[in-house]
A and B are shown apart, each in its own frame.
Chain A
């Protein structure tokens, strides 16, 4: 062989494997999007092109209410989780090494390790006790639950950004008469911002599509978009679900793309 360097692409079956994997990843999504334009009542039998299901979903007040609630929860939970995660990341990277640092790190990432259903049941019981004792109801419980499991998702990119940031920049700021607050405000935070935005976006997206924990924690009439869709599918499946899913998909893709360009510009 003329070219002796190793390349995975030259292994037998590489192209075929790649095509199969990509098909497995994206074919179901394309099918879902395709059938959202189905004129037929069925989600599986093609009956011609139509935008009816989008119009129907748009006019459906239940879908609208669920969407608004989902957005309220996702935005609030993402803000809370990002604020907490930023403090946690600063606390675990911007100080001297301390005993039990690894333990703290694992504790912060606990929601990533504990099975979601366990967290869901735990929160259901825990919040039940609080509701019983205080009598306080409302959407706050769902927001708190979402904020809790979003923290590690916000924490990881912020911590990664901080670890890549030279501590001598903050030292230089204090040398140039900046107080602790000024150092944070004018040096640490602006440099950390891409990480904070990444963390917030990730937390938002994770909160937006959560089903398991929401289903357990929510009270009656507190349907988010995912739990509403789950409820619909128990009754009857129409391409309306496809239409809603497609819109959710588009929202997520737009957000992530915006985020990608935003951080790339900031890194230059």
Chain B
């Protein structure tokens, strides 16, 4: 490897509690976060993503394992000695200080000269478009503005890594969408490595360069959003990110046989025994039931979503499959409940996942 990673966790274990009540929030997690990337830790609440973030920030120490920052061991360094800053879920803005004083706090604690502090604060406020608010109290700002102050405050000392702990969760949908774009812009403009924690898969997919999916204290999969979506390694990742169909099947050479007896082509599949096949709803095509290789199904319910319609289908053996179809143009007759159809999976769309 030619470049040093921004952050590296090696076999990190974090246990809380004692004796029989020990809970492993992180169970042997290793991850490499590259310099300058937007890395997202994604997972349901309680999966350990925030714990990992707090270990990188230095608010907690791991039970075992090592954490490296640009190659240097920082595992037991206190938070005020780490060139890493955090945007907190609650923002944690200092209520007794003005917006400008909040933004300048880190630089002041580092003992930078006043001139430099003032210049950086002005530049940061310009970056988050809050110059007119410099002398306001933080309590006089809206949620979105407070969010920007928190960002500017964490970015002002030019950290090597910026940690963001579900910073958008308190905002309403419209503001959240705006801030997603804003965050991405800030990351590109500053070139700082962002480590972003969220439980919102859509947020993770739209913003990240790479995503680490976590569950039950373990890192399940790390990869680019497209890889994670199209090539999930296991059932958890497949179901947590986007919607998907799971079909029980028996492995054969180069294909999997469904419970209905139909064959799904899976080049490279060998062996025998039961496997789980997964297909995304948008990869399911409806065809003439008479077509060769088509899997027979019946339309059970249709759920209209505007541009798309979710078509819930039942196979011969009762297995449910969801297909996401473009809603028919106005005036055109669409599908009807009870209609017999054939279905086919787009080439390469079907995959085997571990349970």
Contacts and interface: CB of A to CB of B under 8 A. Distances in A.
Contacts of A191: 94-96
Contacts of A42: none
A178 interface: yes
A176 B96 contact: no
A128 interface: no
B256 interface: no
B57 interface: yes
Interface string A182-193: 100011001100
A94 B55 CA distance: 20
Interface in B71-121: 78-81, 84-86, 88, 90, 92-96, 105-106, 109-110
B59 interface: yes
A10 B139 CA distance: 39
A175 B85 contact: yes
A166 B109 contact: no
Given A166-B92, A175-B84, 11 more contacts: A168-B88, A169-B95, A173-B94, A175-B57, A175-B59, A175-B80, A176-B85, A177-B106, A191-B94, A191-B95, A191-B96
A187 B108 CA distance: 13
B157 A176 contact: yes
A171 B59 contact: yes
Given A171-B59, A172-B86, A182-B109, A177 B92 contact: no
B88 A177 contact: no
Given A177-B80, A178-B109, A171 B92 contact: yes
A67 to B, nearest CB: 37
Contacts of B94: 169, 172-173, 187, 191
Given A187-B94, A191-B96, A176 B78 contact: no
Contact of B92 (A169, A182, A190): A169
B90 A166 contact: yes
B160 interface: no
B157 A177 contact: yes
Interface in A95-151: none
B85 A174 contact: no
B60 to A, nearest CB: 11
B324 interface: no
Interface residues on A, range: 10 to 19
Interface in A154-213: 166, 168-169, 171-179, 182, 186-187, 190-191
Contacts of A169: 92, 94-95
Contacts of A190: 96
A135 B257 CA distance: 101
B80 A174 contact: yes
18 contacts: A166-B90, A171-B79, A171-B92, A172-B86, A172-B88, A174-B59, A174-B80, A175-B59, A176-B80, A176-B85, A176-B106, A176-B109, A176-B153, A178-B105, A179-B80, A190-B96, A268-B137, A268-B139
B168 to A, nearest CB: 17
Contacts of B157: 176-177
A193 to B, nearest CB: 9
A178 B80 contact: yes
Nearest to B111: A177
B105 A173 contact: yes
B57 A177 contact: no
A191 B88 CA distance: 19
Most chain B CB within a 10 A radius of its CB, from A174, A175, A179: A175
Contacts of B81: 177
Contacts of B154: 175-176
Contacts of B137: 268
A268 B109 CA distance: 25
B78 A177 contact: no
B92 A168 contact: yes
A168 B86 CA distance: 11
A171 B78 CA distance: 11
A169 B97 CA distance: 12
A176 to B, nearest CB: 4
A120 to B, nearest CB: 41
Contacts of A182: 109
Contacts of A187: 94
Nearest to B82: A175
Interface string B284-317: 0000000000000000000000000000000000
Nearest to B83: A177
Contacts of A171: 59, 79, 88, 92
A78 to B, nearest CB: 24
A40 B116 CA distance: 73
A173 B106 CA distance: 8
Contacts of B95: 169, 191
Nearest to A170: B92
Contacts of B106: 176-177
Given A166-B90, A168-B88, A168-B90, A175 B96 contact: no
Contacts of B110: 177
Interface string B18-53: 000000000000000000000000000000000000
Contacts of B80: 174-179
Interface string B262-280: 0000000000000000000
Interface string B173-214: 000000000000000000000000000000000000000000
A186 B105 CA distance: 9
